Amino acid sequence: MLKMKNITKSFPGVKALENVDFEVELGEVHAMIGANGAGKSTLMKILAGAYEDYEGEISIDNNKVEINNPIDAKRNGIVIVYQEVDTALIPYLTVAENIMMDYIIEGKEGTLISWNDIKGQAKKVISDIGLDINVNQTVNKLPLSEKQMVLIGRAVFQDAKYLILDEPTAPLSVEETNKLFDIVKKLKNEGMSIIFISHRLNEVFQIAEKITVLRDGKIVGTFDIDDMTIDKAVEKMLGKKLENNYPKVETKIGNTILEVENLSGTGGIHNVSLSVREGEIVGLAGLVGAGKTELCKLIFGEGNITEGEIRLKGKRIKPKIPAQAVRYGLALVPEERRKEGILVYESVETNITLPTLEKYCKGIFMQKNKIKQVSRELIKQVAIKTPSEKQLVAYLSGGNQQKVAVGKWFLSDAEVFILDEVTKGVDVGSKVEIYELIGGLVHQGTGALYASCEFGEILGLTDRIYVMYNGTIVKELVTKDTTEEELLYYAAGGGLGE
Amino acid sequence: MNNTKEKKFDLFAFLYKYGTILVIVATILFFSITLDNFLNFTNITNILRSISIVALIALAVTISLTIDGFDLSVGATAGFASVIAAKFMVIWDMGPVLAIIVPLIVGALIGAINAFLIIKMKIPDLLTTLSMMFLLTGVSITFQNGSAIYNYMPLPNNAGIAPGLMSEAYLFIGRGELLGLPVPVIIMLVVVILIHIFLNQTKYGRFLYMIGGNEEAAKLSGIPVSKYKLIAYMLSGLIASLGGLVLGARLGSGEVDAGGPYLMDAVAAAYIGFSIFGAGKPNAFGTLLGALLMGTLLNGLIMMDFPYYSQDIVKGVVLILALTLTYYKQRR
């Protein structure tokens, strides 16, 4: 039995976990659920040795163990398979070598490698867990689901007692998920304990025996699956409702601007249909991994559309690259602010005028004074706290960086704004200001598609909501007639059986 | 789910695996049909001898590539090695033993300095070794007092002629023959085999590949990453020096500029090696075949009176084709 006791972990400014106790027995499948930011991944990362510093104790079979790095964890029989499987694989080496990596590193058999031995043992592992993968293939040629299997195989070979699967089914198809679950059941019957982090409650109820619910960094409780229902689980995950911090700008809703019909393409997006009207903020609600970012990017011309069409004001558009999408009148504020949304080592004015630079040019030359003037006006309008328009964006706070990323579109003639998790990592005060900004944008008669996994803000900000699950839209809801419970229910795949 | 797709013949997959080999075979076939004496023993040994130095320096690059590094200083290291050897024998009149051992040690040390700058000072590998290339060229020219070192050379300040001679034993490395095979070719083959065994049959070689393939995963699995990076760069410097000794022995002189031109050919050979049998990663036999392809093409073209000054066009095109085979697939 593995016990975690009084675990506390802080990140700068946030307490991610507070006095968390957690227990798991051998031979059980234990699900770990909670809303985004509840702390479930942090807790499991501690167990897997991803953090050096945390408070609390971990013991296995009543013996205290020290886990401060992944090697400690492995030595104690704890292995984690992260959702990003590529972080743990060597792409150009074979399946056999990837499974047997630790065996080679420990090198008990000496300096020279016996490939027959390695391949033989890898084959045995593969067939033991009931798979059919050619061990001589390099892993970069495998589909994602099989890469996951290679990592599970590696854990099996290491005689892992506690296997943590972090959102393993998020990128998998139904068929692949079933295959994974067969393996999980098999390993469980052989005495392994599997901790299964998931947002997908229907899958949790399909496979787990026990559920531990986390909320805001604290344990709500551990429950037997038989005593729980999806509805109860959702209630436990949410706790009491958040207060309303959402200033809603009253705006008249007009004609449809953006229509998406049966869109399928890159990132597992399939059969997505949606529309956005003038003056409307449309929510795109979904848990992490539901495909919101992929959908936003697909509409914006990043990725390949295999089917379906996009219409802007009734005219069909086919953005092949983002630059075209901008010309059509779309604007995207991406999720990864520092990576994709702003140029951190450029000045505020450069960032602000970047998408609309053509307006401030005469021929091929930039008109410096005009740029300075519009930048100053916009800084005032959207209340960016900066000493001057020449300041590098890197030195602004997260909230102000985001105001630059959103605010710059005020200068554009964009018709539809696609906003992807724009308040991620932004403090509460700045969040409200960003909500006001977005309200101001649509007030000018444009439309906004607002993607977020924080359902509180979706409910506070939007007029209509599409719920995404597994790469497609599963439900359309009118904001004032729905609740957070209902959103979470559909976002966790709850409505699929209906 | 993809079972149906597997059975269809995939032209690109085929080319990915065998494309480069096909090009080599086609090249040899073409030249042996159009040229009478292309495939005779003398010409084959000629080709092999001409590629031996490129192949050695390319193997040095290959080792640095296995850890996802890059050693641009190999050409300069080779040149410097030839200068040190020549200075020991010609100017300082010392025997061949020191003249061979010291350059090899210096080569390994240069690799260690590269590794230190890359690992500890965090300078990107390309920039580190580029700087090292400049530095070495300068150091070497200073060390050789501005000109090449050769037998009976006049010493500066009218100090007469150089006292020593290039030792016969040393020259044997570059010019000798054993069992009818040129010594450089034998050295090249031995090094290829040794590196092949090191990379594929020893766990240390696999560590290098693991680091190159996914440094974070390698570190978290318990491989001391810095240590093996250091080893890789030292090996790279050592092998480059060996290439320099063969070069110096063949020319019978020591000059740093002699090594420089081999850099680009060596890089090309190593990258062509990626595409051999669809390896997709640096490997010893691939590098050898890469060098062979370039050598064969150039030899054949020269025999067909192709102007020497246009050779680089051919090298460039071949390299682009090989890189296409390697990278186009990866991006899909």
Nearest CA in chain B to A139: B213
**Domain limits of chain B?**
8-331
Give the residue among A142, A97, A137 at the shortest CA–CA distance from A120.
Answer: A97
Ranking A135-139, A246-250, B92-96, B140-144 by mean pLDDT, the lowest is A246-250
A90 and B CB contact within 8 Å:
yes
Q: Residues in chain A, how many?
A: 498
Residue A182, in any domain of the structure = yes
Chain A nearest-CA residue for B201: A113
Cβ neighbour number for residue A31 with a 10 Å cutoff: 28
Does the pLDDT at position A473 exceed 80?
yes
**Chain B partners within 8 Å of A92 (Cβ):** 209, 213, 279-281
pLDDT at A425: 65
User: Is B228 within 8 Å of chain A by CB?
Assistant: no
pLDDT band for position A357 (50/70/90)?
confident
Residue A118 has pLDDT above 80, yes or no: yes
Q: What is the mean pLDDT of residues B31-48?
A: 88
Cα A5 to Cα A7: distance, rounded to the nearest angstrom: 6
User: Which residues in chain B are contacts of A157 at CB distance < 8 A?
Assistant: none
The closest of B86, B59, B134 to B251, measured between CA atoms, is: B86
Tell me chain A's radius of gyration from C-alpha atoms.
25
Residue contacts between A and B (CB atoms, under 8 Å): 63
CB contact under 8 A, B213 and A92: yes
Nearest CA in chain A to B207: A105
Checking if the pLDDT of A497 tops 60, the result is no
Q: Which residue of A has its CA nearest to B329?
A: A141
**How close does chain B come to A135, measured CA to CA in Å?**
16
d(CA A42, CA A54): 10
DSSP secondary structure letters along A186-248: HHHHTT-EEEEE-S-HHHHHHH-SEEEEEETTEEEEEEEGGG--HHHHHHHHH-SPPP---PP
For A217-257, what is each residue's pLDDT tens digit?
A: 899 999 999 998 888 888 888 775 444 567 677 778 889 99
Number of folded domains in chain A? 2
Q: CA of B216, closest CA in chain A: separation in Å?
A: 7
**Pairing state between β A2-11 and A14-24:** antiparallel
Task: Say yes or no for a CB contact (<8 Å) between A92 and B217.
Answer: no
Assigned domain for A249 exists: no
User: Beta A256-265 vs A78-81: how paired, if at all?
Assistant: unpaired
CB contact under 8 A, A102 and B222: yes
3-state SS of A145-161 is HHHHHHHHHHHHHCCCC
Q: Does one domain contain both A141 and A206?
A: yes
Residue A331 phi, psi dihedral angles, 5° rounding: -135, 140
Q: Which residues contact B285 (CB under 8 A, 6 or more apart)?
A: B192, B196, B273, B276
* The token pair that represents A458 in the structure block: 């979706």
Using a pLDDT cut of 90, give the percent of chain A over it.
Answer: 43
Provide the domain limits for residue A204. 2-238
Query: Cβ separation of A101 and B207 shorter than 8 Å?
Result: no
Looking at the structure, do residues A126 and A190 belong to the same domain, yes or no? Answer: yes
A209 touches chain B (CB under 8 A): no
The nearest alpha carbon in chain A to B274 belongs to: A92
Q: How far apart are the first and last CA of chain B?
A: 19
CB-based contact, B310 to chain A, within 8 Å: no
Instruction: Give the CATH number for residue A58.
Output: 3.40.50.300
What is the token pair recorded at B87? 């200075």
**B322 closest CA partner among B18, B20, B10, B14:** B20
| B213 with A143: Cβ contact below 8 A | no
Contact status of B201 with chain A (Cβ, < 8 Å) = yes
> Would you state the pLDDT for residue B3?
42
Name the region of A134 (left: φ>0; alpha: ψ -120 to 50; beta: rest).
Answer: beta
Token pair belonging to A232: 């109860």
Amino acid at the residue A233? A
Single-letter residue type at B81: A
The CA distance from A348 to A384, in Å, is: 9
A252 CB neighbour count, 10 Å cutoff: 9
- Best mutation target, B202, B206, B228, B329, to test chain A (most A CBs within 10 A): B206
Judged by CB atoms closer than 8 Å, whether chains meet at A112 and B221 is answered as no
pLDDT above 90: residue B5: no
Using the Cβ of A101 and the Cβ atoms of chain B, whether some distance falls under 8 Å is answered with: yes
> Which is higher by pLDDT, B294 or A429?
B294
CATH topology of domain B8-331: ABC transporter involved in vitamin B12 uptake, BtuC (1.10.3470)
For residues A315 and A182, membership in a common domain is answered with no
Residues A38-50, mean pLDDT to the nearest whole number: 89
Which of A93, A106, A112 is the closest to B209 by Cβ?
A93
**In this structure, is residue A83 part of a structural domain?**
yes
Q: What is the pLDDT of residues B231-266, one digit of tens each?
A: 999 999 999 999 999 999 999 999 888 888 899 999
**From A110, which residue of chain B is nearest by alpha-carbon distance?**
B203
Say whether both A230 and A132 belong to one domain: yes
Please compute the mean of the pLDDT values over residues A405-428 and round it to a whole number.
82
pTM of the model: 0.80
Mean pLDDT of A457-486: 90
* CB-based contact A406:A400 (threshold 8 Å): no
Domain membership of residue A107 (yes or no) is: yes
Residues A26 and A153 in one domain: yes
Range B218-236 average pLDDT: 93
- Residue A253 is predicted with a pLDDT of 87
Across the beta sheet with A256-265, what order do the strands follow?
Answer: A269-277, A256-265, A305-312, A315-317
* Residue A233 forms part of a structural domain: yes
The answer to whether the CB atoms of B280 and A138 lie below 8 A apart is yes
> What confidence tier does B176 reach under pLDDT thresholds 50, 70, 90?
very high
Is residue A287 domain-shared with residue A194, that is, in the same domain? no
Task: State residue B104's pLDDT score.
Answer: 97
Confirm or reject contact between B218 and chain A (CB < 8 A). yes
Q: Which residue of A has its CA nearest to B198?
A: A112
Does one domain contain both A225 and A263? no
- Which residue, of A208, A238, A268, is where some domain finishes? A238
Strand, coil or helix: what is B190? helix
Q: Are residues A98 and A58 in the same domain?
A: yes
- The predicted structure's pLDDT at residue B19: 81
Burial of B161 (0-12, 13-18, 19+ CB in 10 A): exposed
Residue A420 located in a structural domain = yes
Q: What is the pLDDT of residue A241?
A: 44
Taking an 8 Å cut-off on Cβ atoms, the answer to whether A71 and B2 are in contact is: no
* Prediction ipTM score: 0.85
Q: Please tell me whether residues A213 and A260 are part of one structural domain.
A: no
Tell me whether residue A245 is in a domain: no
d(CA A220, CA B175): 80
* SS3 call for A303: coil
Q: What is the pLDDT of residues B191-209, one digit of tens each?
A: 999 999 999 999 999 999 9
Specify which of A142-146, A424-428, A472-476, B39-43 reaches the highest per-range mean pLDDT: A472-476
Q: Measured in Å, how far apart are chain A's first and last C-alpha atoms? A: 39
pLDDT of residue A428: 63
Is the model's pLDDT at A409 over the cut of 90?
Answer: no
Place of tokens 């009478």: B36
**Is the per-residue pLDDT at A287 higher than 70?**
yes
Q: Count other C-beta atoms under 10 Å from residue A96's C-beta.
A: 25
Do A13 and A71 belong together in one domain? yes
Q: What tokens does B131 get?
A: 């700087």
- For A271, half-sphere exposure in the C-beta direction (CA atoms, 13 angstrom radius) is 6
Q: What pLDDT score was predicted for residue A38?
A: 80
pLDDT at B142: 93
Q: What is the mean pLDDT of residues A371-382?
A: 89
Comparing CB atoms, the residue among B210, B216, B279 nearest residue A87 is: B216
Buried b (16+ CB within 10 A) or exposed e, B138-159: ebbbebbeeebbbeeeeeeeee
Of the ranges A35-44, A350-359, B124-133, B251-260, which is most confident? B124-133
Q: Residue A21 corresponds to which tokens in the numbers above?
A: 């106790």
How far away is chain A from the Cα of B184, in angstroms, using its nearest Cα?
Answer: 28
Using the Cβ of A266 and the Cβ atoms of chain B, whether some distance falls under 8 Å is answered with: no
Label residue B6 by pLDDT band (50, 70, 90): very low
As given in the structure block, the two tokens for residue B312 are 């680089």
Instruction: State residue B157's pLDDT score.
Output: 79
Determine the Cα–Cα distance for residues A93 and B62; give it in Å rounded to an integer: 16
Q: Does A175 touch chain B (CB under 8 A)?
A: yes
**Tokens representing B223?**
């491989």
Question: What is the overall mean pLDDT for chain A?
Answer: 87
Q: SS3 for A206?
A: helix
